[in-house]
Amino acid sequence: MMLSAETQEKIRAETERYPSRRTALLPALKLAQEERGYLPPEAVAEVAELVGVSHAAAWELATFYSMLRLEPEGRVRVEVCVQLPCALAGAERLLRDLSAGLGIAPGQTTPDGEVTLIRTPECFGACHRAPMARVNEVYRESLTPEATQQLLQELNAPRQQGRESAA
């Protein structure tokens, strides 16, 4: 068992709340993710067993919802909004610059496990200062190419220092 007794208990309670077991699957997977930070295959299998559905059904759901994460995330989460107002102000350019500067595609995490880059259609309500990104909980707005380079420096600096002191 990889989930704590407390999470298992919560999942059982969810399962009892719904007339159909499948309906409990999504809240149950979210509970498992809350505990683990993401959903490794063992956790998905365990949730399937607790809810009483097949592993295949649990996998299908886990891969369908973008809010469910199958990979661990970096310490820093960089979410670039690509909703229309941001898109019109250069969100794709911003995403390309960040991708190039970090050396990863959207949806990936840097090999040192530090930064995850995310492309999201979620509007963060900062459209008047587009394009923008949310870096953990902090909004970085009006990300011109110059401001993007500044952000990249900040994101890369602690990792470069780490490499230098390790050398």
Among 50, 86, 95, 118, binds ligand FES (CB under 6 A): 86
Among 124, 152, 156, 159, binds ligand FES (CB under 6 A): 124
Pick the stretch among 18-26, 120-128, 145-153, 154-162 that binds ligand FES (CB under 6 A).
Answer: 120-128
DSSP of 114-133, one letter per residue?
Answer: -EEEEEE----S-GGG-S-E
Q: Does the protein bind ligand FES through residue 48 (CB under 6 A)?
A: no
Residue 80 Cβ, how far from ligand FES at the closest point, in Å? Answer: 9
Distance from C-alpha of 17 to C-alpha of 36, rounded to nearest angstrom = 23
Nearer Cβ to ligand FES (35/141): 141
Residues 64-83, one symbol each (x = binds ligand FES by CB under 6 A, - = not), give -----------------x-x
Q: Does the protein bind ligand FES through residue 90 (CB under 6 A)?
A: no
Q: Which residues bind ligand FES (CB under 6 A)?
A: 81, 83, 85-86, 123-127, 130, 132
